Structure 1
Amino acid sequence: MWRLKIGEGGPWLKSGNGHIGRETWEFDEDFGSEADREAVDSAREEFSKNRLRMRHSSDLLARMQIAKENGFSLDLHKTRDDDGRSPLLVATTGSSTVSETLRKALDYFAAIQAHDGHWPGDFPGPLFTTATMITVLYVTGSLDSTLSSEHRREICRYLHNRQNADGGWGLHAEGESSMLSTALNYTALRLLGEGGDGGGGPGMSSSSMLIRARKWIRDRGGATMIPILGKVWLSVLGVFEWSGVNPIPPELFLFPSWVPIQPGRLWSHFRMAFIPMSYLYGKKFVGPITRLVVSLREELHVHPYEKIDWKAARNSCAKALSMLCCWIEKSNSDAFKRHLARVADFLWIGEDGMKVRVCAGQLWDVAFAVQAILACNIAEEYRGTLKKAHDFIKASQIMDNPSGDFSRKYRHISKGGWGFQVADQGWQVSDCTAEALKVLLMLSRFSSDIGSDQMETCRLYDAVNVLLSLQAWNYLYFSLHILNPNGGYGTWELARTYPWIEIFNMTEIYADIMVEHQYVECTSSVMQALVLFREKDPWHRKDEIDQCIRGATEFIEKLQNDDGSWFGSWGICFTYGTWFAIEGLSAVGQSYGNSTCIQKACKFLLAKQLKNGGWGESHLSSTTKAYTNLDKEKSHIVNTAWAMLALMKAGQAERDPTPLHKAARLIMSMQLSNGDFPQEEMIGSFLKNGPLCYMAYRNIFPIWALGEYQKLVLQCDLQWPTF
């Protein structure tokens, strides 16, 4: 049985904080009871049976283990009804009070907190990341030493469960089949030893799976139709030719730093992929041509490999990349060994199988979780949970800047910031820093002794310094009139080049990836944090903070759409952005009574409420930039919670609480008997075509919304309002 290990180190690993937040899985034949193993097998079978209807796992393996360690039993033996929920676990709300719902939800959520204070969980997103890791392990000869037979079995299970009915794989779990994911996942299965002889695991037929996938690929012109990222990986493997890849010239790094297209000026995440891709392109590196590689040349292409017009194929359509580059330079290097030691950090197992996570969100989830708990009248009863979360946040602060002359390496200051994941990851993020700072300030207000070791003032100052350094108008490389600074906040760094650089976007699948843009969510988080900090320490860098808040406020006001909404870039979508905007504007004293922006926003949200009282927004909103409901006017518990939080912050309870009553009733009706809430459609987003699944959101935001609802709407613990 698989065991989740928290905060453990190992050979070739370095950590600045004792590996706090690290999550790895290890197979242990003796771990767990017979009943545990039966429950896990049952959960796997149930997911596989419903995989085409219920696209997301519920992270049951990790949650069961942690809950058991915390003395809380989770029953995984359940059968789903037509709505995908267990008839035994559907909550009844007729006589349930909000307090009872919250207590059950908080008891459950506290039970799945790890001992170091964070909430472990999957972070599903792109469906091609697992295949890229398999490819680099195969090319470097590390596949057998890194992945056991149990790893392979679970990865094959995952790829089977994620295959669409037409035989292909989508860019994400809810997406239509794409050549990128299908060709790479087909290749990964073959590299893992799957062939025409079956062996795909219980209930699986690898031959059937591969035959359908190969047919899908060949029916659509073969692998020459794959986007550039796939072309790079197939070229590395030797089943595509580098002459068929559009240029990724490493010579761009020879440009002076002031040239707009110099890679150091590009968005950090694109830069992290471009650097190794350009290295591989410059080397024209190809791995060993094995018999399997030769076979794949025939399987993936419609025409004989030696007759393909590779130049015509050019326009037919970061972890693993960096690790491969280190191996090419020196296969036995310490750098490669350190990369290899971190492979386990990216592997995650659920009832759907094992996959490679694009990342994790330990710090981000903890910051939101604390705010959700503090929103509840009974927060004091979860003091232990809050203390562990406080200690995790404190330990996760980045204590140093990048090594050496980091500005020459195009890195921003990081000392005092927080990242999305853990401190060892090392990249500061504006909104993560803001939310962490905000939570620490909120906890100090809630209880002066919540942590036996309170945050030192100098570390709070370091966090403020990071936030002030990241505002758009602080960048000095270009004159102000060229970059047109707007007072908003991006994610990791400042904008370093012109927006028109986006015309060079080569990904063919993602948008707004070349330049660091500014976002309403990041800007709002920073505003809220600085307002709280200013109340605590009104004279520290007063003028700069005041100016920062004014600029951020103007940015949010100008960004509002004509219909009253704001576009959310990191969540889905207009519901998410509008919630953040209202929170930010409210933090600086704006209200429904004095702000036309908030008035328009409330009108927008109320117009999108569904008949059942909820809100349900599709990930297609991010792609089309137009509000799109989920199919069949389905509601989503997290969208509903965001809308509730926004409306309550804007004083909806004082005008007409009926929409809030309806929304609260819906959330309560969806609670399961163990206190959990159902996992629904993807609710996170990046780059307008990359939906993500934040596993903890289904717990955090219903708790947060109902906690605020009880305080702001019901005023006291009343029975459910009648209509």
Structure 2
Amino acid sequence: MFDTISFDFDALDQAISRAHARLSAEQRADGHYVYELEADATIPAEYVLLEHFLDRIDPELEARIGVFLRGIQGNSPQNPGGWPLFHDGAMDISASVKAYFALKAIGDDPDAPHMRRAREAILARGGAARTNVFTRIQLALFGAVPWRACPVMPVEIMLLPDWFPITIWKISYWSRTVIAPLLVLLTERPIARNPRNVRIDELFVTPPDQVTDYIRGPYRSNWGYLFKAIDSALRPLERHFPARSRKRAIQAAIDFITPRLNGEDGLGAIYPAMANTVMMYHTLGYSPDHPDYATAWASVRKLVTDASYRFEGASYVQPCLSPVWDTSLAAHALAEAGSPGDAQLAAACDWLIPRQILDVKGDWAYRKPDAPPGGWAFQYNNAHYPDVDDTAVVGMILDRNGDPAHREAVERARQWILGMQSRSGGWGAFDSDNEFHYLNHIPFADHGALLDPPTADVTARCISFLAQLGHAEDRPAIERGVAYLRREQEQDGSWFGRWGTNYIYGTWSSLCALNAAGVAQDDPMMVRAVEWLLARQRPDGGWGEDCETYAHAKPGEYHESLPSQTAWALLGLMAAGQAEHEAVARGIAWLQSVQEDDGSWTEQPYNAVGFPRVFYLRYHGYPRFFPLLAMARYRNLARGNSRQVQFGF
């Protein structure tokens, strides 16, 4: 039973009221929420290099980006001078080379102490020749490495039919939008204008022209050796490809990009695709005043963000914007903490409604042509690429809010989610049945994230949404999803969290889904997950997880407790029927103890991921939404007639 005697529910009420007031105050006038989405040094460094590629240098902005890059440089035993992929992480050589290159382009003296530390750290790890494919392509654009440092990716890929093993329709949405303009660059092989003639020869252990093994293992399977052999065979042949087919392929890339330019929200609404598009137009001789070129450039500039609150006079560049995701998550917290008819909640839902994508059959329709449109994108606008995860979360809050005017939108979302289920029973983030795993072994895919296969966290959200709606005819789809989660559960009882850090995120998501689907609390799957979460509670009552768990660190562990991860663990335990467990009360007390005076929480460690082991994210809104949601749910369960969580999220 809830310890209603010793637990101070009056203090909890006050904490919830402060958090609710803070969240309400951060709502935009039109009802939506948007918080910063921060990545590592890579994106701001690439932006600086983009300006030098184009010779469109903005000295004032570059100086501000320089402040940011210097501010996040490592200075610890595990990272003595490079740049990490996430807060407090180990040095990443690719991010470090880009950051060093950008700072040198900005005008930093290579003999300055911070540049010497960076250079020594880079050389100690093999130098710039050992960077990843995307970094080597960036270096080739500046003549810093020969083009043979890059894999062969002929633009004729744009013309290949679906039966061919490698096509743009067999890769993920983000890969598709990044690669389409990149194929033109790899074919045309432009050289940056680089007006200051910035070079980074000092970052190579062996002179770049003398390096013979740019494309090398370790290979993750025999596919790697096969694709390396194909790459080697293609190199001497590529220059003999017919000019006519090459011209046709370049036009096919342009024809793919043009209808997807997405206004000032940009191709795919993600920075790498936008930047590649700008460079493509520049390379093809478009005038900067050309409408498409101007639109692409404006989309990139839209991501520049003031960061003076971090470092005085600093700016950085976000990888994308997250308003639909932020608004839907904030709305769930408002719903749990508020009352029916809450004005802030209604305003958030009203803002979401017109952003449902109803009139565009995006790239997802290539595999699922019969699924009717009805999704929401992650960003302000991204009509060709609605997000399955966002759609499920938006659908749940619209259903929970109960406005009859929103029923049609919920039904359209339901139909699209049902249509997007993969054959395995799971759901991917943007595509269905995107499981051509051999493609993650081509030399270009050294990041191992070329695909968008189903994942436990996205599958869990879709199950939660469908189960919350309660349509009897959806039960087979739900059961197939539950079977998928059963197969995907790790031996220790957790689930891998593809889009959030990490096993705590995946386990919370899955437990919510299993509860919504009616899986018994004594089901071994639920029991093992609960035991795993309980075993990872820290002595102070909170939970934390290191981003290194995407590599080799122990799942569900970190050297400190974090608000987001603590909230996820608590929400998972409550969904599994453990609301009265002493561990939950301790976790709630920890959240109260670290709440700031203004009602919010903050956390420096990153809490999400773009590509595991390559690209990580910090959602600045997460410690706003999730602790409030967890505390309010705990209070509501304690004061309600049932200990059962009623909603899917």
TM-score range, shorter chain: 0.7 to 0.9
Q: Could you tell me which residue of structure 1 aligns to residue 149 of structure 2?
A: 244
CA distance in 2, matches of 1:442, 1:112: 22
* Alpha-carbon offset, residue 409 of structure 1: 11
Listed as ranges, the matches of 1:401-420 within 5 Å are 401-402=360-361, 415-420=373-378
Question: After superposition, what is the alpha-carbon deviation per residue over 1:480-539, rounded to whole angstroms, capped at 9, x for unaligned?
Answer: xxxxxx11101101124532332226343x33x1332111111111112222334xxx4x
Q: Tell me, what secondary structure is at the counterpart of 2:525? A: helix
Q: Residue type of the partner of 1:322? A: T
Listed as ranges, the matches of 1:377-392 within 5 Å are 378-380=338-340, 383-392=342-351
Task: Work out which of the residue numbers 645, 662, 665 in structure 1 matches 2:589.
Answer: 665
Q: Contact 2:161–2:167 at 8 Å: present in 1 too? A: yes
> Structure 1: which 4+ aligned runs deviate by more than 6 Å?
408-414
CA distance in 1, matches of 2:484, 2:612: 21
* Alpha-carbon offset, residue 388 of structure 1: 2.0
Q: Could you tell me which residue of structure 2 aligns to residue 271 of structure 1?
A: 176
CA distance in 1, matches of 2:414, 2:181: 33
Q: Residue type of the partner of 1:313? A: Y
Q: Could you tell me which residue of structure 2 aligns to residue 152 of structure 1?
A: 62
CA distance in 2, matches of 1:385, 1:114: 10
Q: Could you tell me which residue of structure 2 aligns to residue 31 of structure 1?
A: none
* 2:490 is aligned with 1:561: yes
Q: Against the structure 1 CA distance between its residues 573 and 217, is the aligned structure 2 distance closer, same or farther, given a 3 Å change threshold? A: closer
CA distance in 1, matches of 2:526, 2:351: 35
CA distance in 2, matches of 1:442, 1:435: 11
Q: Contact 1:195–1:207 at 8 Å: present in 2 too? A: yes
Q: More deviation in 347-356 or 94-103?
A: 94-103
* Alpha-carbon offset, residue 715 of structure 1: 5.0
Q: Residue type of the partner of 2:339? A: A
CA distance in 2, matches of 1:533, 1:596: 26
Q: Contact 1:583–1:649 at 8 Å: present in 2 too? A: yes
Listed as ranges, the matches of 1:223-302 within 5 Å are 223-288=128-193, 290-293=195-198, 296-302=199-205
* 2:462 is aligned with 1:548: no
* Alpha-carbon offset, residue 231 of structure 1: 0.7
* Alpha-carbon offset, residue 546 of structure 1: 2.8
CA distance in 2, matches of 1:157, 1:412: 50
Task: Work out which of the residue numbers 172, 178, 188 in structure 1 matches 2:92.
Answer: 178
Q: Contact 1:613–1:659 at 8 Å: present in 2 too? A: yes
Q: Against the structure 1 CA distance between its residues 221 and 462, is the aligned structure 2 distance closer, same or farther, given a 3 Å change threshold? A: same
Q: Contact 1:248–1:277 at 8 Å: present in 2 too? A: no
* 2:224 is aligned with 1:319: no
Q: Contact 1:573–1:621 at 8 Å: present in 2 too? A: yes
TM-score normalized with structure 2 length? 0.82
Question: After superposition, what is the alpha-carbon deviation per residue over 1:262-285, rounded to whole angstroms, capped at 9, x for unaligned?
Answer: 232112222222223322111122
Q: Could you tell me which residue of structure 2 aligns to residue 683 of structure 1?
A: 607
Q: Could you tell me which residue of structure 2 aligns to residue 354 of structure 1?
A: 315
Q: Could you tell me which residue of structure 2 aligns to residue 705 of structure 1?
A: 630
Q: Tell me, what secondary structure is at the counterpart of 1:692? A: strand
Q: Could you tell me which residue of structure 1 aligns to residue 415 of structure 2?
A: 465
Q: Which runs of 5+ in 1 are unaligned?
A: 1-92, 197-205, 449-453, 474-485, 717-723
* 2:115 is aligned with 1:210: yes
CA distance in 2, matches of 1:249, 1:625: 38
Task: Work out which of the residue numbers 117, 122, 143 in structure 1 matches 2:57.
Answer: 143
Q: Residue type of the partner of 2:589? A: R
Q: Contact 1:400–1:414 at 8 Å: present in 2 too? A: no
* Alpha-carbon offset, residue 443 of structure 1: 0.8
* 2:286 is aligned with 1:372: no
Question: After superposition, what is the alpha-carbon deviation per residue over 1:615-664, rounded to whole angstroms, capped at 9, x for unaligned?
Answer: 11211222237415112xx21221111111111122113xx531111111
Q: Against the structure 1 CA distance between its residues 552 and 407, is the aligned structure 2 distance closer, same or farther, given a 3 Å change threshold? A: closer
Q: Against the structure 1 CA distance between its residues 495 and 559, is the aligned structure 2 distance closer, same or farther, given a 3 Å change threshold? A: same
Q: Could you tell me which residue of structure 2 aligns to residue 482 of structure 1?
A: none
Q: Could you tell me which residue of structure 1 aligns to residue 456 of structure 2?
A: 520
Quote the sequence identity (%): 23
Q: Number of matched residues?
A: 570
Q: Could you tell me which residue of structure 1 aligns to residue 73 of structure 2?
A: 163
Q: Against the structure 1 CA distance between its residues 462 and 715, is the aligned structure 2 distance closer, same or farther, given a 3 Å change threshold? A: closer
Task: Work out which of the residue numbers 646, 652, 662 in structure 1 matches 2:578.
Answer: 652
Q: Against the structure 1 CA distance between its residues 177 and 497, is the aligned structure 2 distance closer, same or farther, given a 3 Å change threshold? A: closer
Q: Against the structure 1 CA distance between its residues 603 and 220, is the aligned structure 2 distance closer, same or farther, given a 3 Å change threshold? A: closer
Question: After superposition, what is the alpha-carbon deviation per residue over 1:139-187, rounded to whole angstroms, capped at 9, x for unaligned?
Answer: 122223xxx61x2232111011111112211233332222211111121
Q: Tell me, what secondary structure is at the counterpart of 1:417? A: coil
Q: Contact 1:670–1:678 at 8 Å: present in 2 too? A: no
Q: Tell me, what secondary structure is at the counterpart of 2:135? A: helix
TM-score normalized with structure 1 length? 0.74
CA distance in 2, matches of 1:418, 1:627: 31
Q: Which runs of 5+ in 2 are unaligned?
A: 1-6, 219-272, 642-649
Listed as ranges, the matches of 1:2-21 within 5 Å are none
Q: Could you tell me which residue of structure 2 aligns to residue 117 of structure 1?
A: 31
Q: Against the structure 1 CA distance between its residues 290 and 157, is the aligned structure 2 distance closer, same or farther, given a 3 Å change threshold? A: closer
Question: After superposition, what is the alpha-carbon deviation per residue over 1:23-65, rounded to whole angstroms, capped at 9, x for unaligned?
Answer: xxxxxxxxxxxxxxxxxxxxxxxxxxxxxxxxxxxxxxxxxxx
Q: Contact 1:567–1:625 at 8 Å: present in 2 too? A: no
Q: Against the structure 1 CA distance between its residues 505 and 364, is the aligned structure 2 distance closer, same or farther, given a 3 Å change threshold? A: farther
* Alpha-carbon offset, residue 110 of structure 1: 0.9
Q: Contact 1:614–1:635 at 8 Å: present in 2 too? A: yes
CA distance in 1, matches of 2:167, 2:89: 34
Listed as ranges, the matches of 1:482-501 within 5 Å are 486-501=424-439
Q: Contact 1:578–1:646 at 8 Å: present in 2 too? A: yes
Q: Tell me, what secondary structure is at the counterpart of 1:563? A: coil
Q: Residue type of the partner of 2:354? A: A
Q: Residue type of the partner of 2:306? A: I
Task: Work out which of the residue numbers 502, 509, 527 in structure 2 matches 1:599.
Answer: 527
Q: Contact 1:397–1:423 at 8 Å: present in 2 too? A: no
* 2:406 is aligned with 1:455: yes
CA distance in 2, matches of 1:621, 1:406: 30
CA distance in 2, matches of 1:103, 1:167: 43
Q: Tell me, what secondary structure is at the counterpart of 2:603? A: coil
Q: Residue type of the partner of 1:556? A: L
Q: Contact 1:260–1:497 at 8 Å: present in 2 too? A: no
Q: Residue type of the partner of 2:15? A: T
* Alpha-carbon offset, residue 670 of structure 1: 0.5
Q: Residue type of the partner of 1:142? A: R
Q: Contact 1:412–1:493 at 8 Å: present in 2 too? A: no
* 2:344 is aligned with 1:434: no
CA distance in 2, matches of 1:628, 1:637: 14
Q: Contact 2:388–2:430 at 8 Å: present in 1 too? A: yes
Question: After superposition, what is the alpha-carbon deviation per residue over 1:398-449, rounded to whole angstroms, capped at 9, x for unaligned?
Answer: 232158x9967999978321011223464111111111111111111xx66x
CA distance in 2, matches of 1:439, 1:694: 20
